[in-house]
Structure 1
Amino acid sequence: MANEVYNIVGEVASLSFGIMIIILMLFTRPRITFVYKLCSIGLFLAVIANAVNILIIKLAADFQKDDFVFLGFLMIIFMVIYFFVISLLFSYISFLSAYRRRSATAINIIIFIVAIIYCWFAVSKFINGEILVAKNGILELYIFEKFLILSSFVASFMSVVITIIDYDNLSKIVKKTVFFFFAVNLIILQLQYLFYPHIFISITYVLPFAMFYIVFHANPHDELMGSQDKSSFETMMRQDKVAGKNVLYMFIKVPRLTNFDFLGDNNFVYLHTARCTRKLENLGYGITIFNLGYGEFAIRFSNRYFIDTNKITGKVVEILKEFIEFEESNTIYRLVVMDAKKVNFDPYRARMLFLYILENKIEDDFSSMSYIIRASDYDAFEKEERILSVLRDISYERNLNDERVLCYAQPIFDVSTGEFRTAEALMRLELGGHVIGPRRFIGLAEKHGYIHTLTCIMLNKVCKEIKKLEDAGYDFDGVTLNCSSIEFSSKNMYKQLFKIIFDNKIQISHIRMELTESALFSNSSNVITNMKKLNEAGVIFYLDDFGTGYSNFERVREYPFNIIKFDKSLLYAAEKDDNMSNVMSTMVNMFKAEGCQTLVEGVENDYQNKVSLNNGFDFIQGYRYAVPEPIEALENYFKKD
């Protein structure tokens, strides 16, 4: 009967859609923000109001006098719920502004005043008998629906007004969504007025909540900042590549916002950051902002052809300066401007380039900086990326015989015997047919966690060559291998090294290891344990680059070092300054008194050699005696029994 008198297809469709969205809310992981509670409660009440409205329409279509009181009660319940629904909708839109969140009292006062007017209007309609009017066994709902249309229009209008008032404090996506919602609601309300008794008024309050949920809580948009998330950034870059767009990207890092994602979106820092993004959006140029997490943001400028890079960078810097001045005096920012084409629109490479610039172009860790990437920077980054690609591949394969890791060696002169009895193994890397030195890749390997694999490969290659020398009857003391302090800080690292040594079946005393002074300041307990285990088995340890760090004599004594290797910088200082030469001689004698032998590196000429001998060094290493060569050349320096 209801379908014959009143058409409720729109109401049923609205109810079904609302229930579906609620199910999505319950079984997915929406963005739980400050306004999410308003959205979820509003949608839940809207669905209840929708269901009650359908029940009212059905009872009205088949009206019985006995249902008069019950129907009146349902209408009152509906109107109460409906007011809460439109109030929540107004509150939700109001609190999409960071500014309004600090003036919630004003919003509550507005809602209270509107509630009084709403109740007075509703009660007057009931008292005048305009709401419950029965004709020919049917309850006429025309006045009731007109009341709902008017209420919905007022709520929509108020939402648009508050949006216009807070226009500069709202993100672009919020403004677009609110104005779209108002336009759609206006059309639906007009249609509802014209096509009564087709009833579909519920669409005007179920659809907005559903739409806000989909736009701001079920997808990557941040309703307050107007930013999108990391996945959107990656998608946007790939779309730019496919479309062949010429766009400009800026990357910003604010270290103080590292824990930004855990502050909560009503935190003062979050609200202030949102105001900053408003100003950035207002610059125009087709700006899109992405929150990459942990204090990192990306800004995309789509209108690259109309942008003066230096000028727009200056404007962004001005906004960032306002931000940090308002925030705290010790807050700093890092701004890097890049051409996405140079990294082939690859999101991963773009971020790696950003981090590369931060590491290599920052001169002051305590000051803000902005940097526009130059052509030379892209070239340097590409070279580093190629090295990292090889290191990554070597680490993943973990082949101890990897041919890309080259083992060189530099013989060391023994002053007491006048012979070469030891040598230092030196790592090189083959890259595209070229051999590159350790300065270009050791730091990268340590930073990215690839150094241990390289050490294991080098140890295996050194052991294999030692095995050949042993089998051929050569008389030598050993070959030293440089090890990273990072590795020796790992618990039980010695076991992995033992396995490689024992698998090659060599005399363990022929293996020697060098550690830099930084090892003395790492996890000392693990470092000492690893060193003692290896030393007790026969491995001799060198303290490498002594004099370049902050260690002192007493600190060195705590570790089982057998040979102290003086850095060449001390030799060069002693070469020019007699006082420094005396200091070096004193240190040499002190170490010898403790039972250690001493070695000096970097000896390139006769005078440096003379200074080294006069200062009492036991071993001398440098181009004056031998240059680094492939490790197989050691047979030219060692003697046979």
Structure 2
Amino acid sequence: MNLQPKILSNAFLINGYTPAVDMILVILCILLLLLLRETFIRRSRLFLLFRTCIALLLIAAFSNSCFYYTVLYFDSDTTLCILRAIYHSSLLLIFCLYAAYLKILIGIPGKTGHIMNIFLYSLYIIFAVVDALSPVLGYSFYRDSSGAWHDNLYLKPFTIAYGIYMAFIFFLLLYYHKRIPTSLFHMLVIVQFICVFLVCAENYFGSNTFLAITFLLPIMVILYMVHGSSYSIKTGALNADSLNEYLNQQASIQNSTYYMCLRFDTDSEYVMPDELGKLFFNFWNGYFKNGLLFHPSTDFFVLAIDVSDIRNADKIAQDMIQNDFKRHFETYKLPYKIVMFNHLDFCENLEQFYELFNFFAEPMELNNFRSCDTADYKSFHDMKYLSAQLKDIAENGSLDDKRVLVYCQPVRNVNAGNYDTAEALMRLNLKDTGMVYPNRFIPLAEKNGYIHKLSMIILNKTCRAIREFQDEGYQLSRVSVNFSISELSNKNFMEEFRQIVERNGVDFHTIAVELTESRNDTEYELVLDRVMQFKSLGVCTYLDDFGTGYSNFDRILSLKLDVVKFDRSLLLMANKDENSQFILNYFSTAFKKLGYKVLYEGVETDEQETICVNSHADYLQGFKFSKPIPIEELKNFLSPIQE
């Protein structure tokens, strides 16, 4: 049914206007407000301004629709004037808040920001009041003495204020464009031009159907790019989810990408100052205009560069660090590490990316950078392979895993003049890499929680070897096995230990355990409890690596261990300096008087052996006597049992 206005003289007020557009806008605004209510977004001042703009747009669109139906069905001048005033004042207030929003987004501080606030709100008050009073003043929108309505589209206060606000917004965007994320700046400028075009076109045709819609367009841009999206206001960088998706895409299309990763070594409560954040707006643009900057965590930045566009990305990146980066960031004195590398086909998500960065960054010194090469990539690939093998060994659960080998180093009994003890050592023999030594896989196994399974495999194979040596008639007092404090904390540790030893049919006194010194009260209580349990089984206990750092003698003595192993570093010092020899002798004498056996490791020369013997050595271990050998070869050092 076609609606016809009851008051034909008012028909020109709604000429060309379609209320369906504003009604749809009302529905969209309600939906946006509901979504914002149900979505977790930090309730900052920016967000509150943004949400207020949506509510005002809802009011404006609804009042304009009501204006249309009032024209059609009611002859009420007061209602028309009120609805028109609400419509225009709501839109002008949106303009005012939007300009204030951009001012905060840009970060205009101090006196300049205060002056802008006064200008924005004064402009709103003046033009909103003049526009509301125009029917009374007989200016722009009014009814003349003959009863006819007049509405001057070009001279009305709202149109003038619209032009001033739009000019001010363009000024903010263009003058402070370096403080706005590049992508956000481009979108805001484009949408403002679209809004101006729509308004000019509507004024030309004498309609205002799409006027309110022009206020929705920048709101949608900000909703997506600031509040609901991946861009950081402070740095102009994309977030962690964006980097994760980017890595996934790069892996699928096998694109050649160069990454420049920056991490600040700060505490977890560090908040980046605004001025430092602003440096990231254009820091990389002078070198990599097409690079994508990501900010996946508080202290971590990633610049991704398409190598197909920039062939010499590595050289440019190093020049950037040397020429600009150090100059800028020395001002802030923040410790940092920078790692640069190419995209690797096994780096498909953010977790793998962090692992890759940490692998390269861990051995670096602070305030330095590293450009990775083929050898580095191979090293990382080997580490990944080794981690996968360790995981498989741990999950496989077999105590007879053939990839884990038991080596040992014979220990010379000084008093008996023979070899009757040894230390069990761990090796891996893997298909792709061959023999792998402990310095490569032990830290990795401890970090990922695989060390306990490896230790139990070594214990099982050591017990089996001891059983075989005894069955073959060799004299062997014991073989020691190393255990970390983290393993001792396992509630099932002692039960597993006991079952493995008993299953192999060896006496507990033929197994010794080597323990490192506890670093705190909790570790001390744990070690003390385990030592007492070992002693109740008849297991000999060693203190490993004495002399490598701070030693608490009260704790060591209260543990009542059987053997103290002096670290090789003490012997090296004693070999160079008489005072160090005196200290070594003092320690060994003290332990000897307290009933401990003393074992020196790292003995390589006759001179070192003499120093150890003169310092109350009970046992000697080192390359002078034997390098580590497969445990099966230990029989070459053992003496047969005398009948």
Q: TM-score, normalised to structure 1's length? A: 0.86
The answer to whether residue 293 in structure 2 is matched with residue 289 in structure 1 is yes
1:15 to 1, 5, 26: 26
2:261–2:300 CA contact under 8 A, matched in 1? yes
1:114 to 123, 137, 161: 123
Query: Structure 1 residues 479, 140: closer, same or farther in 2, change over 3 A?
Result: farther
Query: Structure 1 residues 32, 463: closer, same or farther in 2, change over 3 A?
Result: farther
Distance in 2 between the 1:241 and 1:403 partners? 35
Distance in 2 between the 1:132 and 1:504 partners? 106
1:238 counterpart residue number: 248
Query: Structure 1 residues 377, 342: closer, same or farther in 2, change over 3 A?
Result: farther
User: What is the 5 A alignment of 1:444-455?
Assistant: 444-455=444-455
Distance in 2 between the 1:48 and 1:257 partners? 46
Please state how far the C-alpha of 1:425 moved relative to its aligned partner.
1.1
Which has the higher mean CA deviation after the structures are superposed, 421-430 or 127-136? 127-136
1:93 counterpart residue number: 102
1:561 counterpart residue number: 561
The answer to whether residue 546 in structure 2 is matched with residue 540 in structure 1 is no
Which has the higher mean CA deviation after the structures are superposed, 118-127 or 423-432? 118-127
Structure 1: runs of 5+ lacking an equivalent: 264-268
Query: Structure 1 residues 101, 210: closer, same or farther in 2, change over 3 A?
Result: farther
Please state how far the C-alpha of 1:567 moved relative to its aligned partner.
2.2
SS at 1:99's partner residue?
coil
Distance in 2 between the 1:73 and 1:87 partners? 21
User: What is the 5 A alignment of 1:39-50?
Assistant: 39-50=50-61
The answer to whether residue 396 in structure 2 is matched with residue 358 in structure 1 is no
The one-character-per-residue Cα deviations of 1:131-170 (angstroms, maximum 9, x if unpaired) are 3559999988775997655544433332111111212222
SS at 2:416's partner residue?
coil
Q: What is the one-letter code of the residue matched to 2:36?
A: M
Please state how far the C-alpha of 1:516 moved relative to its aligned partner.
3.0
2:93–2:124 CA contact under 8 A, matched in 1? no
Distance in 1 between the 2:241 and 2:339 partners? 20
2:197 to 187, 205, 226: 187
Distance in 2 between the 1:126 and 1:508 partners? 105
Distance in 2 between the 1:137 and 1:292 partners? 65
1:425 counterpart residue number: 424
Distance in 2 between the 1:419 and 1:454 partners? 30
1:49–1:78 CA contact under 8 A, matched in 2? yes
1:489–1:524 CA contact under 8 A, matched in 2? no
1:208 to 212, 218, 226: 218
Q: TM-score, normalised to structure 2's length? A: 0.86
Aligned residues: 626
1:340 to 339, 343, 346: 343
Distance in 1 between the 2:220 and 2:212 partners? 12
Please state how far the C-alpha of 1:393 moved relative to its aligned partner.
3.4
2:565–2:599 CA contact under 8 A, matched in 1? yes
2:140–2:155 CA contact under 8 A, matched in 1? no
SS at 2:310's partner residue?
helix
1:277 counterpart residue number: 280
Distance in 1 between the 2:28 and 2:502 partners? 70
Query: Structure 1 residues 414, 150: closer, same or farther in 2, change over 3 A?
Result: same
Query: Structure 1 residues 144, 525: closer, same or farther in 2, change over 3 A?
Result: farther
Distance in 1 between the 2:110 and 2:21 partners? 35
The answer to whether residue 175 in structure 2 is matched with residue 176 in structure 1 is no
Distance in 1 between the 2:227 and 2:504 partners? 60
Please state how far the C-alpha of 1:79 moved relative to its aligned partner.
3.2
Distance in 2 between the 1:161 and 1:382 partners? 52
1:58 counterpart residue number: 69
User: What is the 5 A alignment of 1:573-592?
Assistant: 573-575=573-575, 580-592=580-592
Distance in 2 between the 1:393 and 1:33 partners? 48
Distance in 1 between the 2:235 and 2:148 partners? 51
Which has the higher mean CA deviation after the structures are superposed, 501-510 or 441-450? 501-510
1:157 counterpart residue number: 167
Query: Structure 1 residues 116, 538: closer, same or farther in 2, change over 3 A?
Result: same
SS at 2:542's partner residue?
strand
Query: Structure 1 residues 112, 606: closer, same or farther in 2, change over 3 A?
Result: closer
2:8 counterpart residue number: none
Which has the higher mean CA deviation after the structures are superposed, 516-525 or 205-214? 516-525
Distance in 1 between the 2:351 and 2:370 partners? 19
SS at 2:261's partner residue?
strand
Query: Structure 1 residues 342, 197: closer, same or farther in 2, change over 3 A?
Result: closer
Distance in 1 between the 2:324 and 2:439 partners? 39
Q: What is the one-letter code of the residue matched to 2:413?
A: D
1:563–1:597 CA contact under 8 A, matched in 2? yes
- Structure with the larger RCO, 1 or 2 (CA within 8 Å, 6+ apart): 1
Query: Structure 1 residues 604, 322: closer, same or farther in 2, change over 3 A?
Result: closer
2:57–2:215 CA contact under 8 A, matched in 1? yes
Q: What is the one-letter code of the residue matched to 1:385?
A: K
2:91 to 69, 82, 94: 82
Provide the aligned C-alpha RMSD in A: 3.5
Structure 2: runs of 5+ lacking an equivalent: 5-13
